[in-house]
Amino acid sequence: MNVKDFDYHLPEELIAQDPLEDRSSSRLMILDKTTGQLQHSVFKNIIEELHEGDCLVINNTKVIPARLYGAKVDTNAKIEVLLLKRRENNIWEVLVKPGKKAKPGTEISFGDGKLVGTVIDIVEEGNRLIQFSYEGIFEEVLDELGQMPLPPYITHQLKDKNRYQTVYAKYDGSAAAPTAGLHFTKELLEQIEKKGVKIASVTLHVGLGTFRPVKVENVLEHHMHSEFFMIEEAEAKKINDTKDAGGRVISVGTTSCRTLESAADENGRVKATSGWTDIFIYPGYEFKIIDALITNFHLPQSTLLMLVSALAGREHVLAAYEEAVKERYRFFSFGDAMFIR
């Protein structure tokens, strides 16, 4: 399976740079995974696609303002740090730019010394381990000094931090938003519940690996980064009860999908669990839990495009993307949505 099998042409002007004022007014393409048939709609009409007895599974992770701009204490040279994974004792695994300035022992000051980081080690792929010192509560300091870690293809400044956050974000820990969830408003979720659709929450803290390109020709040689996930007992029960009653489990986003598929046993039951997953879903994968998927339009040659191709078939997905380009849909994080049913 060659990475070029998942390529498509995308005019740069179709990459959405700003979120729409009304989250639920983005466009919605509906793709039948069996026939490849397409329909065009508006996201708020997703409620028409959901049936009583279905279960919508959302990822309640919260994006932290993980991008920090600081300076080396000794030379005042500018340094950018992106928080990736929290370790113990105020130690974080981070991405540093420029990396050559961040040797072990380097001290970096943020916000005139409100936060100070010391590089203590270099780990895989050149990431650094930094130990932070500060007064007060780390999350409050970070909220003051940090910026939302928008993807590299978004060049506009985000006016409102909350627009890169789902309305149901709960647990701090992501370096990127689970973007399929950005289309939901609280009102729309209430209407969905009133229709008799269960809403189950899972947590997967999205890492930077979500933006990393596939650098190998053979897809099977690609190594996925691990991300922390968690499913609570009550939420697992909602999902299993839905399956038992013959309802559909509909994943909101590829992160919810990977969480469910990581936590499923061979009998298609979800168990309450937490841990790290590096699951890589590509064509040929047999889904254990999910029946349908709400997702955005993904980057060419990306692992996310491979995941949706595993669910709906590569030819159907690439034909849908070609149609989306022709119809001037908006792509990527702040773009339009697709419902694969």
Each of the 341 residues of the chain gets a pLDDT tens digit; together they read 899 999 999 999 999 999 999 999 999 999 999 999 999 999 999 999 999 999 999 999 999 999 999 999 999 999 999 998 888 899 999 999 988 888 999 999 999 999 999 999 999 888 999 999 999 999 999 999 999 888 888 888 888 888 999 999 999 999 899 999 999 999 999 999 999 999 999 999 998 776 677 888 998 888 888 899 999 999 999 999 999 999 999 999 999 999 999 999 989 999 999 999 999 999 999 999 999 999 999 999 999 999 999 999 999 999 999 999 999 999 999 999 999 99
Per the structure block, which two tokens stand in for 29? 């393409």
> Exposed/middle/buried for 94, CB within 10 Å: 0-12, 13-18, 19+?
buried
Per the structure block, which two tokens stand in for 222? 């690609």
Residue-level pLDDT at 241: 97
Rounded (5°) CA angle 149-136-106: 60
Residue-level pLDDT at 99: 84
Which of helix, strand or coil describes residue 243? helix
Per the structure block, which two tokens stand in for 273? 């669990």
**In which element (H, E) is residue 236 found?**
helix 233-244
Alpha-carbon distances of 28 from 249, 307, 310, rounded to whole Å: 19, 19, 20
For residues 255, 257, 258, 264, the Cα torsion angle rounded to the nearest 10 degrees is: 140
Q: Given CA atoms 125, 7, 278, 92 in this order, what sign does their dihedral have? A: positive
**In which element (H, E) is residue 235 found?**
helix 233-244
Give the whole-angstrom CA distance, residue 336 versus residue 23: 10
The answer to whether the beta carbons of residues 81 and 94 sit under 8 Å apart is: yes
> Exposed/middle/buried for 76, CB within 10 Å: 0-12, 13-18, 19+?
exposed
Identity at 74, one-letter amino acid code: D
Closest to 55 (Cα-Cα) out of 165, 184, 193? 193
Give the whole-angstrom CA distance, residue 222 versus residue 160: 35
Phi-psi region of 58 (alpha: psi -120 to 50; beta: other; left: phi over 0): beta
| Residue carrying the six token digits 């168990």 | 271
Residue-level pLDDT at 210: 65
Residue-level pLDDT at 211: 62
104-109 long-range contacts, CB within 8 A, separation 24+ = 106/72, 107/72, 107/73, 107/74, 108/70, 108/71, 108/72, 108/73, 108/79, 108/81, 109/70, 109/71, 109/72, 109/73
**In which element (H, E) is residue 93 found?**
strand 91-97
> Exposed/middle/buried for 118, CB within 10 Å: 0-12, 13-18, 19+?
middle
Residue-level pLDDT at 224: 85
